[in-house]
Structure 1
Amino acid sequence: MPASDIRLIATDMDGTLLNSKHELSDSFLPVFRKLKEQGIIFVAASGRQYYNLLKTLDAVKDEVIFAAENGSYVMFQDEEIHVQAMDQNIVRDLIITSRNIPKTYAVICGKKKAYVESAEPEFIDHLKLYFERYEIVEDLLKVEDDQFLKFTLCDLAGSEGNSYPHYKHLQETLKVKVSGPIWLDISHLNANKGVAMEVLQKKFNVSFDQTMVFGDYLNDLEMLQNGYYSYAMANAHEEVKEVARFRAKGNDENGVVEVLSEMLDSAATTV
């Protein structure tokens, strides 16, 4: 690849940049520093909460652009670049529907924090992996003083087969995405990682051909369509592999960092 032409790199986090233990490889930071020396913009694009991403990438938090909540909240150095909130009445309808689906736990992903009703330990253990700030409330229908970026279900019976069918019919008016084996994300129709990429490409005057992206799950599809150098992880969902042009080794094999290292080495040898 013409490594010297790459100006923007975006990667999903869980199942992509992070290993199966949700850890960042020690080899990431040296590669990241080299990318910054080349003037390459780095984006962490994730379904995770913004505050959780800040913690996960604490060592470089002032140098990374965060496309959090599946791209509905894009931040850089505490500056809001893009916000795509949902209508609160729509979120309330989603909550009501969720109460008839077994083994699911609803999460309102607000700009200030996340809101949940349940303190069930297994659910909270999953929640803490992705949300740094959250509040347990008596009734989600009474939450008002926040902007709602996303509605999420933690589905311990499996999101693709259990909860997704209850919301699939909304796909013409909302962005409904199976974002992991036990996660279902519902956002504004114009809120996804692909739109976030378009916003950043326009802001920094970066072209489709100058963009590299990495992903593994269905909430990465739009992002993969917004960069020529689109990589599906070896562990990716089959639909992701069909959309991506290239392959990277699995997240437990440090696939993202390996591709970036090869790109940097290629650029060095051509100088």
Structure 2
Amino acid sequence: MIKIIFSDMDGTLLDEQGNLPEEFPQVIEEMKSYGVLFAPASGRQYYSLLDSFSDYKDDFLFVAENGTLVKQGGKELFSSPMPRKLALKVIKDGLANTPGYGVVCGKKSAYALHEQYTEEFQAEMHKYFTHALAVDGFDDLDDDIIKVSFFDPTANADKTLYPYLKKFNGRLQVVLASAYWVDIIGFGINKGIAIQQVQKKLKITPKECAAFGDYMNDAEMMSSVYYSYAMANAHPKVKELARFEAKSNAEHGVMVQIRELLKSGLCGEKKS
């Protein structure tokens, strides 16, 4: 019986304009009536997820920053900070040797250099990091570093950023998060590992979990649940890893499939 449903945000739950489906509140109410928990699982900042789901901040479980920070009801369930010295080396090296804009992601806030904090970059950052500060440097940040991200406004991150940054693979984990973003997090940490930690904490099994995703930072999530759904618009490799396929994000595929799961009996019976 499915007890929790994880969903990526961009390219998955959100439509092509970055909006939640209109039927989202109704579907969440239906899930509640079956006792099923909803869990956004995203590369986005925890505070960005809270802003997106302000009406549900005490109801949802949040898997943020590609699994490096998991919180429920404001309480931390799991986190995996990066080794500080190595995180600082990555951001400095990446900024010096790629054309990308850089972000250091902490538990308290996200941070970007004043010199890169242009109006264009602020607008892009705000999509994913609603708590962000411009700083003169990163060395003296009073925060745990949980992720380092690089942004390419030309949407060619796979060519301009990833080929250089992948040299950190092994010591850390370098993930192509979208056509624009490359994320770097602690070695062996991802959405899938975070979901496994949640399963242990809540004492549930992979067969009691469903997940929806579309891009490579969702790959491990597909193997950590039984009911794994790649969106119709998903990266081909994600489709290979998923057991099932949902309609595209433009067709509100997550909402359509959740309603089908509720009707199928896989989520148990509706509570009175």
TM-score range, shorter chain: over 0.9
Identity %: 38
How far is 1:61 from its partner? 1.5
One-letter amino acid of the structure 2 residue matched with residue 248 of structure 1 = A
Structure 2 partner of 1:173: 171
How far is 1:147 from its partner? 0.3
Which residues in structure 2 correspond to 1:1-271 (within 5 Å)? 5-117=1-113, 118-140=116-138, 142-157=139-154, 158-267=156-265
One-letter amino acid of the structure 2 residue matched with residue 237 of structure 1 = H
Aligned with 1:39: secondary structure?
A: coil
Which runs of 5 or more structure 1 residues have no equivalent in the other structure? none
Distance 2:53 2:81 in 1: 24
Deviations 1:9-56 (A, max 9, x none): 100011101112111112111111111221112211000000010010
Equivalent residues of 1:103, 1:156 under 8 A apart: no
How far is 1:165 from its partner? 0.8
Distance 1:241 1:179 in 2: 16
Which runs of 5 or more structure 2 residues have no equivalent in the other structure? none
How far is 1:69 from its partner? 0.4
How far is 1:102 from its partner? 4.2
Between stretches 156-165 and 144-153, larger displacement belongs to 156-165
Could you state the TM-score of these two structures normalised by the residue count of structure 2? 0.94
Distance 2:32 2:76 in 1: 21
Equivalent residues of 2:9, 2:40 under 8 A apart: yes
Distance 2:133 2:231 in 1: 34
Question: CA-atom RMSD, angstroms?
Answer: 1.5
One-letter amino acid of the structure 2 residue matched with residue 76 of structure 1 = Q
How far is 1:259 from its partner? 0.1
Deviations 1:198-221 (A, max 9, x none): 011111111111211100011001
Distance 1:54 1:180 in 2: 22
Aligned with 1:227: secondary structure?
A: coil
Distance 1:102 1:177 in 2: 16
Aligned with 1:98: secondary structure?
A: helix
Distance 1:103 1:172 in 2: 23
How far is 1:80 from its partner? 0.5
Aligned with 1:14: secondary structure?
A: helix
Aligned with 1:100: secondary structure?
A: helix
Aligned with 2:210: secondary structure?
A: strand
Distance 1:254 1:100 in 2: 40
